[in-house]
Amino acid sequence: MRRLAGLILVLIGLVILTGSLFANVNQYAPGLGSSTKHLEETLQEADSIQIHALSSDVTIKTHDKDTVSIETSARNKDSDVEISQDNNALTITQPKQHWFSFFTLGKNSNWVVTIPETFKGRLSIKAGSGDFRLENEQEKRYKSIQTNIASGDTYIANMKTEEIDLSAKSGDLTLNDVQTDKAAVETISGNINMNDYSGPLKANVTSGNINVQWKEIKNEVRMNVTSGDVDLQVGEEDVRLDVSVVSGDIRNNVALDTIEQSGNRSLKGKKGAGDVLIHLESVSGNLYIKE
């Protein structure tokens, strides 16, 4: 009986080892285990492009054609991808991976998605594991940008949009030169970095730091932080501060004309007309506010 159990364990080990070696054969013999794929489809009346990736790094680019194309590069059949379209949306989907992908070592597969530069609809990206990058050489405007990344970093630059809704369970969110009328961002374990940002902001961070440098603040700012430091550069805006920390310090160098409450753990006051509300509640972490 013991011999049989031992034999079964040996067989299981061999199966796992074989699957791992097969999945990573390109590490030992480059090109043998790799695969690429190219798909292209004309964008019809759809005002939404949706991308669903299981384990891929996704980069979005634009071109002067009326087509949506995707170029994938991956080990084995992880490059499999499907494009479907109806009147409302064009969807790019990565089918369920093969069982041996569980043992794959190294980087995710790479997707380069190229969309028409005339597209101004909704972009939606959902990924289990992988980085997402959206950057344009010239300023681009979309109706909305929505991301939901389980594990990976998000980078968006040189963009105008009516609305952004970004979520990362484990990974950083970085926005450079982004303008929006409505913004909601959330990280559970990761940092939020925003430079040359124009717009309002609603942010929820469970564990991570927030760094925001505004060009222009629109409407109001509301933040909830469980653990992490917050650094806000508000420029010349007439702000109204209502901020507090349970464990940490508040350091402010914005010249307030009216102060209702001031201390190491809470601050209420306004500069000028106080047109822009900044409301922040933090459980643990320091808060820095500066012009």
State the average pLDDT over residues 261-274: 93
| Cα–Cα distance measured from residue 98 to residue 114, given in angstroms and rounded to the nearest whole number | 26
**pLDDT band with cut points at 50, 70 and 90 for residue 264:** confident
- Examine the pLDDT at 22 and tell me if it is beyond 50: no
* Portion of the chain with pLDDT greater than 90, in percent: 71
- Mean pLDDT, all residues of the chain: 86
| Cα–Cα distance measured from residue 37 to residue 73, given in angstroms and rounded to the nearest whole number | 7
Q: Is residue 90 part of a domain?
A: yes
- Examine the pLDDT at 171 and tell me if it is beyond 70: yes
Sign of the dihedral defined by the CA atoms of residues 55, 61, 62, 67, in that order: negative
Q: Is residue 265 part of a domain?
A: no
The pLDDT assigned to 102 comes to 45
The string of DSSP letters for 51-113 reads: EEEEEEEEEEEEESSSEEEEEEEEEGGGG--EEEE-SSEEEEE-PPPPGGGGG--SPPEEEEE
* 32 compared with 70, residue with greater pLDDT: 70
The string of DSSP letters for 113-143 reads: EEEETT--SEEEEEEEE--EEEEEEEEEEEE
Q: Is residue 240 part of a domain?
A: no
Q: Is residue 129 part of a domain?
A: yes
The pLDDT assigned to 13 comes to 53
Q: Is residue 223 part of a domain?
A: no
The pLDDT assigned to 87 comes to 84
State the average pLDDT over residues 212-229: 96
- Examine the pLDDT at 200 and tell me if it is beyond 50: yes
Q: Is residue 254 part of a domain?
A: no
| Cα–Cα distance measured from residue 105 to residue 109, given in angstroms and rounded to the nearest whole number | 11
| Cα–Cα distance measured from residue 161 to residue 140, given in angstroms and rounded to the nearest whole number | 8
Q: Is residue 282 part of a domain?
A: no
**pLDDT band with cut points at 50, 70 and 90 for residue 139:** confident
> How many domains does the chain contain in total?
1
- Examine the pLDDT at 129 and tell me if it is beyond 80: yes
| Cα–Cα distance measured from residue 61 to residue 66, given in angstroms and rounded to the nearest whole number | 13
- Examine the pLDDT at 285 and tell me if it is beyond 80: yes
**pLDDT band with cut points at 50, 70 and 90 for residue 141:** confident
The pLDDT assigned to 29 comes to 41
CB under 8 Å to 175, separation ≥6 — which residues?
156, 157, 164, 193, 194, 195, 197
State the average pLDDT over residues 61-85: 83
Instruction: Tell me the pTM.
Output: 0.83
The pLDDT assigned to 7 comes to 53
Q: Is residue 262 part of a domain?
A: no
- Examine the pLDDT at 27 and tell me if it is beyond 90: no
CATH number at residue 187: 2.160.20
The domain in which residue 27 lies consists of 2-218
Q: Identify any residues that bridge with 38 across adjacent strands, giving them in sequence order.
A: 71
State the average pLDDT over residues 6-25: 47
- Examine the pLDDT at 232 and tell me if it is beyond 70: yes
| Residues 44 and 91 sit within 8 Å (Cβ to Cβ) | no
